[in-house]
Structure 1
Amino acid sequence: MLAEQGNGFPHRSRSCPSETKWKAAGLRCKRKNILAKCIYLPAPMTRRSPSSPGPAKIGKEASDSPHTSTAISGASPNDTHKRGHILSPLECRTPTEPGRIQSGGFFGPTNYSAVFVENSDNIGNDIQLSNDSDTLPLYDSLQAQNFLMLPSNEFRGSPRIALGVRILRQLPDEKTCNFLIQREFDPNCHAIRLGEVVLTMTRSLWSMWGKELQEPRNTEDLERISAHLCKNSETHFQEVEDYEPWIAATTGTNLRWEAVGLVFAAIAFSVVSYSERDAFFTTQSGPRRDRRHFALELKDCVQSCVTLSNYMDYINMLMVSLLLENLILTTILSGDASLLVWRQLGDLVSMSTALGLHRLSDEDGPVTFLSETKKRLFVLIFHIDKGASHLTGRPPALSYRYTRFRIPLDIDGTVLIQGKEAIEKAVQNLDSRGWNQEGRITSSTIPRARAMLCIISDEVLEISLGDPNDLKSDRILSLLDRLQQTYLSLPSVIRFSPSDAYSHSIADWVLWYRLMVHLSFLEQRLTLERLAHKIQILNGQSMIDCALEMLKLTNLIWVQRDRFAGHHHDYDWMLMCWGVPSSGVLCVEVLKQMKSPSASEGLKIPKSEIVQNLSLLIGFLEWIIPGAGNYALCKRMSQLSGEFAAGFGE
């Protein structure tokens, strides 16, 4: 009898890869003559998706979906089976086929597992975490878009037009498309990206070619649309300051592949925000009943739009936005520690600096739609760059020292599209620091807060990843003080208070953003506290307190997960950023106290509270589904944390 894991499943032999299961499943389906309906689920813990049409669910879940009795999709099962994968050179390949790639590489002193590695003498040597990406799509790793531009006899004309036809075939039908995009930019979800732009692009796409995009889609019609989009993407996009002429230059007859890519990205984000068992997926047909398959299919389209937009080597804000969306989708589907993410981040940074987003005009210039949108865009890129650097321990691609940082004003995106008068009025109503005085969270409030914290984060990385011999106590203490003062200077509407956690008067999305800002603050503080403890300028008590608070808030997100259902796809990333480092610090300190009580004399280490929260963290880690990008890392950390918790109880 095979030994069981903690979750009750038998251990899998190292010599039995997941591909064996796939082949076995395929043979069974072949014998039953249902190969077209075969969907491979990559792990036994995967929640089962419906594989055949059935009666619609009764209740709220079903009523929230665009269709309740008829299964529809932008691609029929037969079409999907014939077409294969958008970026695959082989027509038979499906998006869920795993391409095994080692995501390893160098991981530096701030990476998610650094505290375990640094303290291997205290906790043993069996602490290496796997850096394998569980299921990276093969097309991305091989950069298949290079040979997709070669001549082909499959469609008439250019291979670019042929690729465009494949993209357009994957577009969901109009009803599903509008439903998903409206959900992604629902005001109640308070999306911080400028949703009105993508909504307008979507309406324009269906207004222009709604007839041609009705099912069944004709190849000749799709070729004409693809040729039109390719021609527009071959021209330079003239960006103007005001919204109306700007949006007119990229909608209607001026639609480009960059805009189509942003539409696909919005649909993909909406799909990944659903739970795997949501009633929405029963309205889809074929492989699109599986959430991950549907998301990967849409991600393929985004990557293909990047390829087609890159053809003439033009740079514009739309292109940078598309690269940003593509990167975020890659982190969700492939994991934050993968080399694919690191390479795509490099492309994004290169394009943003080539466009000059790091050297925007002076503050005294006119406030316009374009100027504020560029500020927000660069702040988000800068923020992601710092997060990736902190997570991996590698040098950031952007430095505050080489940028002329412009923090966006706290003006809502709906105002920016209303014209000069509305913008001028909004500017006049801001306080002297640029915050709105209405006590609300606008679509610019969070980017402003991130910008202020990122400036300090850049300096934290500078001393953390630099020469250890250059560490100065006064620099660390100064950064700790500046970090605290910066956080306290933020508006109270985005600052977290312990009483917020169980308050019914605070909207779920408001609590979410307060937690995100506060945990980002604690992440930087914990890094500085570890440095201060390392060079013995602080005794470690404030580090323990910070780590425990960070761990408790990370667990809170899971305990109250029903309030944040639309963000479940971010949970594996949060665990790597906040749950793992904070638990690592606490585990090390408890072990030190157990081995040598005199060494921890004077420190208050609440062992029982730490063990309790460590148990919650294990539950959180085990809750992560196999389809999550960081699933393998979460699984390894769950095992490691379980070993610590068991040891503490002895």
Structure 2
Amino acid sequence: MSSSPGLLSPTASSTLPRRRNGKPPSCEPCRRAKVSCDHTLPVCERCRRRKVVAKCVYLTAPMTRPVPDGRGRRLVLTPTMTAGSGEGGLDRAVVKGSERERESGSLSVREKERLSIDVSAAPRDLSHSTTGGLSVDAVSKPTPESGPFIKSGGFFGPTNFSAVFMENRENLGNDEIQISVDSDLHVPSYESLQSQTFLMLAGKQHCGSPRVALGIKVLNAMPDEHTCKFLLEWYFEKCHESSCPKHSVLALANSFWNSSFAGSFRKEPRVTDDLEHVSTLLCKNAESALQEFEDFDDWLASCSGQNFRWESLGSVYGALTTSILSLPERDAFFATQRGERRNRRDFAVEMKDCVQACITLSNYMDLINVPMVALLTKNFVLQTVLSGDASLVVWRQLGDLVSSSTALGLHRQIDTGRPPSYISETKKRLFTSIFCFDKGSALLTGRPPALSYRYTRFELPLDLSEEVLIQGGEVLQEAVAKLDENGWNQEGQIYSTTATRAHGMFSQVLNEVLELSLGDKDICTAENINYLMGRIQTIYNSLPSFYAFKLSDLGSPNCTDRMFWRRLCLRLIMLEHRLLLERLAHKEGFLSGQSMVDCAREMLELTVLLWVQRDRFTEHHHDYDWMLMCWGVPSSGVLIVELLKQVKAPHSTKLVLPRSEIVQNLSLLIGFLEWIKPAAGNYQLCGRMKLIIKKILDQILNPGPTPPLSSQGVTASSAMPSSQESRNASVNGMGGVRGFQNAGMGVGVDGSTVGFDNGSVGGGFEQQQQQQVGFDNSGIDDGFDWLNNVDWSRGPWFDLGQDFSAARWS
């Protein structure tokens, strides 16, 4: 049945109901103009700036046309309704608005404004009626029959980061308490240039080619030369790049500012006719295929200067976006910018939009080349930072990236017998990164990977520096000759390619691990699990000695912060893969679970270390929310489940759990989760996990006379062993992970101690904050049953609908 659009009503938390894809709706002016809407109520900022407040309305189904007989009329709500009006009041308001429109035929702009929704007075329980309007219908709470976990959109399989809670829900309580998710924290989605259809539409102010018109907008967004120089220098010195050599990006940027058209960008204000000339040139260059050259200088000449292309410009915008995100949020640099660029996220979103637009402009002739695939890779990584790692737009972009890489043939790198060159090593590095991203996304979401190692023939890139690749010729051949027999450098340097090689080796094993976890259950045997565990450990042990992680290197003058960071991240990735196998073996009954607990303990300790030493890694702060998803949540989940088992049935478990050490690290993890900024893609996930872990710690440290604990004879003293007991438990409980010697401290894999600050973490948790994240406090003192009703598989974990890593790795 066709229905007519009605005005949307915000919920009691002053947020708009989301669309079926999980994103908030745009107002009518922004939707029709195909521009970004910030979804502000009652009037968005864009409409306020354009002085069209009267037209800023939100409709339920804006694309739905009314039926010819006039039965489907637009329903509006009067501002006189209050939350206490009741069902009858709302029905009268809907009927009144419908009758007024029927009498007048249509509503004027002023009438629409007068009949618009009062945010503070809008009732909570509104749902869409079959006629397209809004009617009151009490939101049905989930019942025990519907399952303990509230279902949500999107599929997340058995390897996703919250799966440990799903697998152990029978140990977390019963289904009596259902937790509402209607009042989740609202995080703006920052919808911008994601819909690639409207990008080709020209503005009314330009009567020429729509591609040229879009190009003018992209070119006009280029920061001034001084700003570009500062950001690119920061990018070169501080940022990690996996999609393409940073030297090539800097060379393209220098070519842009030294070209014949650079003068058009030094004028203030910039002249539209000059930008149109440059846009026309780039559009013309994009219509011809890009020839591949083995030598870097020849390659650079083919896509720079008068041959500058949209792919080249997109790589520059990608570098600027990365640099902006890696700067501290309150860096003095942003005070030098104008308008919305004074806000780090707004500036980054604008530059990211330009990357997306360059991709669209490059796709005009249906051509594919290496710079284009590199740009898709960069766009994918930036999207994960802004939207979150498990958002739908990220998953779709990953599919586009994989399809483009296979269309270019990067998955079939056959040895031709030619010596290594710039283009051959760039292809190896690029596809290895894509392969890693694909496996990381599959692991994080529990969905099948798009690439399989069985259907690819790719070689790992040689461990060479970017400077050597750029020089080429004899310099490159000499550097290749100095590599060891396995392709590693022997100078003890950790280059970007060094990290790519190591991650590629682990991803090949992860491909087989995912086959066990997501594939046929018959192949999930103890022999296969032990074989893959051995392979993971063998790969880690076979890495060069300069890549081995040692906690004692922290602060050592012989180990820079960048080297320590990369060693630490690789160690965590190895533990992440091992923990997945440990959980699988424990679930199938192949192992007792002690080695799983020890692996999770080390993983949690090292994750917390990232936050404790955060001042050393400022440029990586925008990755911290992703690291919590990949490493913090799975490791803490394993330990929380085992702690709950021990508290509820202390005599039934034989696992040795150093409770003091675990509680201290979980307390630090609470501080880590609370430290994540609201602009982060996974901010809502962190807020929910923060409350969950704090509630569990409260129950463990302050058990009280709760029935489940008293019935089993667990007292406060038995729930919290003495420090001596904890130390003995820690020493006697070493399993698959070495070096945990003290229960009260964080101990590294080499036996050295981390100086953790065990002060108060987590801060205050207000009742309002708990309701925003979706917790119902009723029955919380009855044990841990409330944990069984948390929707571990829905956003804010996965509705990471903002604009800008499972795929991202350091």
Contact 1:309 1:319 in 2 (8 A): yes
3-state SS of 1:407 partner: coil
With normalisation by structure 1, the TM-score equals 0.83
Query: Does structure 2 conserve the Cα–Cα contact (< 8 Å) formed by 1:233 and 1:256?
Result: yes
Report the alpha carbon displacement of residue 505 of structure 1 after superposing the two structures with TM.
3.6
The structure 2 residue matched to 1:638, chosen from 677, 690, 694, is: 690
Q: Name 1:109's counterpart in structure 2.
A: 158
Q: After superposition, what is the alpha-carbon deviation per residue over 1:322-347, rounded to whole angstroms, capped at 9, x for unaligned?
A: 10111111000110010000000000
Q: 1: distance between equivalents of 2:179 and 2:380?
A: 29
Residues 442/288 of structure 1: CA separation in 2 closer, same or farther (3 Å cut)? same
Find out whether 1:400 has 2:453 as its counterpart: yes
Is the 2:461–2:497 contact (alpha carbons within 8 Å) kept by the matching residues of 1? yes
Aligned counterpart, 2:255 = 204
1:298 is the counterpart of 2:296: no
**Long gaps (5+) in structure 2:** 1-9, 17-23, 25-37, 54-150, 704-810
- Residue 398 (structure 2) aligns with: 345
Report Cα offsets for 1:358-406 as digits up to 9, x if no partner. 1012174321101100000001111111111111010111111110120
Q: Secondary structure at the match of 2:641?
A: helix
How far off its partner does 1:498 sit? Answer: 2.4
Matches of 1:185 and 1:633, distance apart in 2: 32
Identity %: 54
Q: Counterparts in 2 of 1:218-257, with a 5 A limit?
A: 218-257=271-310
- The counterpart of 1:503, out of the listed 538, 542, 556, is 556
Q: Counterpart amino acid of 1:388?
A: S
State the shift of 1:308 in Å.
0.1
Contact 1:103 1:337 in 2 (8 A): no
Distance 1:235 1:21, change over 3 A: closer
The residue number in structure 2 matching 1:628 is: 680
Q: CA 1:479–1:363 in structure 2 vs 1: closer, same or farther (change >3 Å)? A: farther
Q: Tell me how far 1:152 sits from its aligned partner.
A: 4.5
Deviation at 1:140, TM superposition (A): 4.5
Q: Distance in 2 between matches of 1:133 and 1:466?
A: 36
Aligned to 1:17: 15
Whole-angstrom distance in 2 between the partners of 1:358 and 1:600: 48
Give, as a single letter, the amino acid of the residue that structure 2 aligns with 1:172. P
Q: Give the Cα–Cα distance (whole angstroms) in 1 for the partners of residues 548 and 522 of structure 2.
A: 36
226 and 133 in structure 1: CA distance in 2 versus 1, 3 angstrom threshold? farther
What's the offset of the Cα at 1:565? 0.1
Q: Which amino acid aligns with 1:117?
A: M
Deviation at 1:134, TM superposition (A): 3.4
Does the 8 Å contact 2:239/2:326 carry over to 1? no
Paired position in structure 2 for 1:484: 537
Cα deviation for residue 462 of structure 1 reads 1.0
Task: Give the CA deviation at 1:178.
Answer: 1.3
Give the conservation status (yes or no) of the 8 Å contact 1:264–1:301: yes
Aligned to 1:137: 190
Tell me how far apart the structure 1 counterparts of residues 418 and 509 of structure 2 sit (CA, whole Å).
26
**Alpha-carbon shift at residue 25 of structure 1 (Å):** 9.0
Question: Which position in structure 2 is the counterpart of 1:550?
Answer: 603
CA distance in 1, matches of 2:351, 2:198: 20
Give how far 1:129 is off. Answer: 9.1
How do 1:42-191 and structure 2 match up within 5 A? 104-124=153-173, 134-140=187-193, 143=195, 145-150=196-201, 152-186=203-237, 191=241
In 1, distance between residues paired with 2:617 and 2:153? 31
Aligned partner of 1:442 among 495, 506, 513:
495
Among candidates 588, 597, 601, match of residue 535 of structure 1: 588
Distance, in Å, in 2 between the alignment partners of 1:133 and 1:175 is: 37
Does residue 1:376 correspond to 2:429, yes or no? yes
Contact (CA 8 Å) 2:410, 2:458: kept in 1 or not? Answer: no
Secondary structure of residue in 2 paired with 1:598:
coil
Amino acid at match of 2:490: Q
Aligned to 2:407: 354
Q: 1:140 to 1:511 in 2, by over 3 A?
A: same
Q: Distance in 2 between matches of 1:24 and 1:147?
A: 26
1:560 and 1:459 map into 2 onto residues whose CA distance is 34
In structure 2, the residue matched to 1:69 is none
* C-alpha distance in structure 1 between counterparts of 2:343 and 2:510, whole Å: 39
Between 118-127 and 267-276, the greater mean CA deviation after superposition: 118-127
My pick for the range that moved more, 146-155 or 634-643, is: 146-155
Give the Cα–Cα distance (whole angstroms) in 2 for the partners of residues 103 and 370 of structure 1: 44
Alpha-carbon separation, structure 2, partners of 1:148 and 1:389: 30
CA contact (8 A) 1:133 1:630 kept: no
CA-CA distance at 1:423 after TM superposition: 1.0
1:648 and 2:700 aligned = yes
Q: Which amino acid aligns with 2:388?
A: G
Question: Matches of 2:614 and 2:496 in 1, distance apart?
Answer: 23
Relative to 1, partners in 2 of residues 1:435 and 1:579: Cα closer, same or farther, differing over 3 Å? same
Matched, 1:457 2:510: yes
Contact 1:363 1:406 in 2 (8 A): no
* Other-structure match for 2:87: none
Distance 2:509 2:411 in 1: 17
Q: Note if contact 2:326-2:621 (Cα within 8 Å) is conserved in structure 1.
A: yes
Q: Does 1:572 align with 2:625?
A: yes
Per the alignment, do residues 322 and 164 of structure 1 end up closer, same or farther by CA in structure 2, a change over 3 Å counting?
A: same
Distance 1:127 1:241 in 2: 59
- CA gap 1:133/1:385 in 2 versus in 1, 3 angstroms: farther
Deviates more, 1:207-216 or 1:289-298: 207-216
Give the distance between the partners of 1:15 and 1:191, measured in 2 at CA: 40
1: distance between equivalents of 2:505 and 2:236? Answer: 25
The 8 Å contact of residues 199 and 360 in structure 2, kept in 1 or not, is answered as no
C-alpha distance in 1 between matches for 2:446 and 2:193: 24
Distance 1:548 1:554 in 2: 10
- Residues 448, 518 of structure 2: 8 Å contact kept: yes
Output the CA distance in 2 between the equivalents of 1:321 and 1:103.
Answer: 33
In 2, Cα distance between the equivalents of 1:331 and 1:106? 18
**Distance (whole Å) between structure 2 residues aligned to residue 503 and residue 581 of structure 1:** 30
Residue of structure 2 aligned with 1:272, choices 325, 331, 336: 325
Secondary structure in structure 1 of the residue aligned to 2:671: helix
- What is the alpha-carbon distance in structure 2 between the residues aligned to residue 515 and residue 633 of structure 1? 23
Letter aligned with residue 155 of structure 1: H
Please, which of 596, 604, 609 is the counterpart of residue 649 of structure 2?
596
- CA distance in 2 between counterparts of 1:224 and 1:282 reads 32
Aligned match for 1:614, one of 660, 666, 687: 666
Deviation of the 1:286 alpha carbon: 0.6
> Equivalent residue of 2:14, what SS?
coil
From the two aligned structures, give the one with the greater helix fraction.
1
Deviation per CA, 1:300-323: give whole Å up to 9, x if none.
Answer: 100000000011010100000110
> How large is the RMSD of aligned CA atoms in angstroms?
2.4
Compared CA separation, residues 164 and 634, structure 1 to 2 (3 A): same
Is the 2:340–2:346 contact (alpha carbons within 8 Å) kept by the matching residues of 1? yes
Q: State the Cα distance separating 1:167 from its structure 2 match.
A: 0.4
After superposition, what is the alpha-carbon deviation per residue over 1:399-438, rounded to whole angstroms, capped at 9, x for unaligned?
Answer: 1111012011111111011022111101110111111111
**Rounded Cα–Cα distance in structure 2 between residues aligned with 1:561 and 1:592:** 33
Q: Determine if contact 1:161/1:227 at 8 Å carries over to the other structure.
A: yes
TM-score (norm 2): 0.67
Size of the aligned set, in residue pairs, is 566
